[in-house]
Amino acid sequence: MRVMIVKDYDEMSREAAKIMAKQMKTKPNSVLGLATGGTPVGTYRELIRMDLDFSGLTTFNLDEYYGLGPDHRQSYHHFMFDNLFNHVNMNPERVHIPDGRAKDVKAFCEKYEDEIKRAGGIDLQLLGIGRDGHIAFNEPGSSLTARTQLVALAEETIEDNARFFDRKDDVPSFAISMGCGTIMEARKLLLLANGEGKADAVAALIEGPITSQITASVLQMHPDATVIIDEAAASKLKRRGYYKHTDRLFRDLEEKGGR
């Protein structure tokens, strides 16, 4: 796992956008896994500013609230088009976001998994992390090998997401989410975190044991995972100096064209 510690949210967003842009330029028909929430918004703004070619991409979103249709202003479908797709030349037919109104959820989840496989698998998966250490909506205790499925949201997750709704009671209690097993099959993983509120989760992700109680910790088993965090989110890491040292070495190597 490569750990990049940067100054603040803006630098985190720029560094993440650079990695995603490199993937897009190297492979114009890349399959990208995308995330929602406050964390990736800055990255999406940077990608829009770069004026990249999105026309050949295929995208799969991590999750969607169960019960919300695509036109609901708090749906992740609405979020993605509002924050990214409406501002780039993305082909809407290649956008895949879980259907929050699916009548047969099990069948839909199996279809979503099949669509990922038929697309050739995800080349680069963007991730955030919850305060309790979850990725996508894989709450503490979720299986580390699970596939796309209907999940019940933890109380802490509902409280965290209540800021996006008029009332806490409006936050859905369920979501359709890629499982950790699905996420781990992506060829590259890119996780972003910022702020002191994520410091405990980040420390558990990077330096804690691999456990279903911190589903993000499964990233320790991935062969090509990069974590970009700001100084505040890195504040509880014991080996901050080591991560900064190795990141400098990798940056020097990249400048010389060695990676």
The whole-angstrom separation of Cα 178 and Cα 60 is: 10
The sign one gets for the Cα dihedral 29, 33, 38, 42 is negative
Q: What is the DSSP letter of 254?
A: H
Q: Which tokens sit at 225?
A: 């995972």
End-to-end CA distance of the chain: 15
Looking at the annotation, which residues are catalytic? 63, 132, 134, 139
| Rg of the chain in Å (alpha carbons) | 17
Q: Check residue 26 and report its DSSP letter.
A: H
Fold of 2-255: Rossmann fold (3.40.50)
Task: Tell me the two tokens of residue 119.
Answer: 């697309």
Domain ranges in the chain?
2-255
Local confidence pLDDT in tens for the 259 residues of the chain: 999 999 999 999 999 999 999 999 999 999 999 999 999 999 999 999 999 999 999 999 999 999 999 999 999 999 999 999 999 999 999 999 999 999 999 999 999 999 999 999 999 999 999 999 999 999 999 999 999 999 999 998 898 888 889 888 888 999 999 999 999 999 999 999 999 999 999 999 999 999 999 999 999 999 999 999 999 999 999 999 999 999 999 989 988 876 6
Separation of alpha carbons 175 and 142, rounded Å: 13
Give SS3 for 113: helix
d(CA 246, CA 194): 20
- Give 117's contacts (C-beta < 8 A, 6+ positions apart): none
